[in-house]
Amino acid sequence: MHGPRPLEGTVGMAGAKNSALKLMAASLMVPGEVVLERAPQITDVDLMADVLRRLGAGVERDGDVLTIDSSGELLEEAPYELVRKMRASIQVLGPLLARLGRARVSMPGGDAIGSRPIDLHLDGLERMGVKFSSQHGYVEGVVDRLKGTRVLLEFPSVGATENLLMAAVTAEGTTVIENAAREPEIQDLAAFFQACGARISGAGTPTIEIEGVDGLSPTRHRIISDRIEAGTFAIGAAASRGDVTIEGIEPLHIELPLQKLEEAGAEVTRSDSSVRVRMSARPRSIDLVTLPYPGFPTDLQPMMMVMLAQAGGSSILTENVFESRFLFVDELNRMGSHIRVEGHHAVIRGVERLSSAPVQVPDIRAGAALVLGGICAEGVTEVYDSGHIDRGYEDFVEKLQALGADIEVRA
Ligand code: UD1
């Protein structure tokens, strides 16, 4: 891509990746046809569709509508060759245990953003009566009937909260998840289950209470919009000193990122379902700390790093959720930024302009950030392994082109 170019115009958002993947897994618990509207057209959704098919469900896509039919007999095994491609496959564990009383899921390995254990998922499920064993790289769980209980999470893990919520929906008795994650995607999952007949209260707060029901009935559900995609374009507007209106979103879901952009000098106009972000001057330096929702999302940390790399002054960015998320800093420094990492802090000394360089994408979010870097940098930037970005962003390049970016994809 050729920079620098300000991003200007209006852009619409897709359904949330992190909601879609969990709703697809949850559909395994509903014997019948579930319809998910606004499913993003991204490769992670395709991968989850492969996992569901492998487990015996039927999955059809028509535009952004997915139909999942889990009325037939399901299998219990999610194999290595699929789980290794996408960690979120672990979210089938709760639904399989709920539906079949057994599950065999390949242990997810580490990935480019660090080691990501599943101990909190397993501890919570054990409390609900599951007996786990692990062998040959697989974790196997068996349970007669899941039993409601109290689970206090050591950390508000998104994935663990979701697996426990799914397991609890048809368990015997009441489950209370304390120190639960509060991400909007968890509220979306609860709303889906409620429409299927589940009894859940407190989703979106630190205490979720689930009263088990005997069965679930099929529903049609519209997935919430992708707040990380929205945040990416909001930060892109500010970083490129542009003016972008982002439509089809829930502005409250990105309130903290918007506040931080305002602190850095952006003018932000919020309305019911859209937000406009304008930046006319060089961004100001700010300090930033990532935290579980409603804190600043770790998934938007790389994009903020790109903006702050060009700010007037020095910023300190602290990563509290995934310790290895700073790996892409070496790539960004190849584009002329001055960033020094010490443990989970990054000290960013802003430069006037980034300069183009060939860079390599390590993961979805860092990939989007490096593309934003290329849009802001002087000269022609080549981004390698950009396929990672398609895992999480629908039509990323097309949307950027429509906002004026000079960008092309070469096979
Ligand atoms: C989800 C999102 C991801 C986002 C993250 C944090 C999906 C598909 N992915 O990932 O985009 O960056 O939330 O907002 O929704 N941990 C443990 N033990 C566990 C589980 C987690 O130690 O059993 C640790 C992880 O290593 C990490 C932290 O908890 O340091 C947060 O992980 P978690 O909230 O579970 O993230 P994911 O659900 O994997």
Residue 2 β-bridge partners: 380, 406
Q: How far apart are CA 340 and CA 350, in angstroms?
A: 12
pLDDT at 40: 98
251: Cβ contacts below 8 Å, ≥ 6 apart: 258, 270, 271, 272, 273, 274, 275
pLDDT at 107: 84
Residues with CB under 6 A from ligand 1: 18, 21, 88, 116-121, 155, 157-160, 181, 297-299, 321-322
Q: Is the pLDDT at 287 greater than 90, yes or no? A: yes
Amino acid at 310: Q
- Ligand 1 mutation target, pool 157, 183, 300, most atoms within 8 A of CB: 157
Q: Is the pLDDT at 268 greater than 90, yes or no? A: yes
Q: Whose CA is nearest to atom 13 of ligand 1?
A: 158
Residue 36 β-bridge partners: 66, 221
Residue range 311-322, pLDDT digits in tens? 999 999 999 998
- Ligand 1 mutation target, pool 151, 188, 321, 323, most atoms within 8 A of CB: 321
Residue range 339-382, pLDDT digits in tens? 999 999 999 999 999 999 999 999 999 999 999 999 999 999 99
Give the pairing of strands 138-142 and 220-222: unpaired
Instruction: Please give the distance of CA 52 from its chain centroid, rounded to a whole number.
Output: 19
pLDDT above 90 coverage of the chain, percent: 91
The catalytic residue positions are 111
pLDDT at 410: 86
pLDDT at 115: 55
Residue range 83-132, pLDDT digits in tens? 888 889 999 999 999 999 999 998 876 555 455 689 999 999 999 999 99
Q: Give the strand order in the sheet containing 199-201.
A: 150-152, 174-178, 207-211, 199-201
pLDDT, the chain, mean = 95
Could you tell me how many residues make up the chain?
411
Radius of gyration of the chain (CA): 21
pLDDT at 112: 52
Q: Whose CA is nearest to atom 11 of ligand 1?
A: 299
pLDDT at 137: 86
Residue range 34-77, pLDDT digits in tens? 999 999 999 999 999 999 999 999 999 999 999 999 999 999 99
pLDDT at 318: 97
Atom of ligand 1 nearest to the CA of 185: 15
Residue range 183-194, pLDDT digits in tens? 999 999 999 999
Q: What separation in Å is there between the alpha carbon of 322 and the centre of ligand 1?
A: 8
Residue 111 β-bridge partners: 114
pLDDT at 109: 61
Q: What separation in Å is there between the alpha carbon of 142 and the centre of ligand 1?
A: 24
Residue range 207-220, pLDDT digits in tens? 999 999 999 999 99
| Three-state DSSP state, 78 | strand
pLDDT at 362: 92
Torsion angle, alpha carbons of 350, 353, 358, 363, to 10: 50
Q: Give the strand order in the sheet containing 243-247.
A: 8-12, 243-247, 274-278, 267-270
Q: How far apart are CA 405 and CA 4, in angstroms?
A: 9
Q: What is the DSSP letter of 134?
A: E
Q: What separation in Å is there between the alpha carbon of 352 and the centre of ligand 1?
A: 35
Q: Tell me the mean pLDDT in the region 224-234.
A: 98
pLDDT at 291: 97
pLDDT at 114: 52
Tell me the Ramachandran region of residue 108: left when phi exceeds 0, alpha when psi lies from -120 to 50, beta otherwise.
beta
Q: Tell me the mean pLDDT in the region 270-276.
A: 97
Q: What separation in Å is there between the alpha carbon of 243 and the centre of ligand 1?
A: 32
Q: Whose CA is nearest to atom 3 of ligand 1?
A: 299
Q: Whose CA is nearest to atom 5 of ligand 1?
A: 158
Atom of ligand 1 nearest to the CA of 299: 12
Q: Whose CA is nearest to atom 37 of ligand 1?
A: 159
pLDDT at 85: 86
- Ligand 1 mutation target, pool 17, 107, 116, 118, most atoms within 8 A of CB: 116
Q: How far apart are CA 313 and CA 283, in angstroms?
A: 9
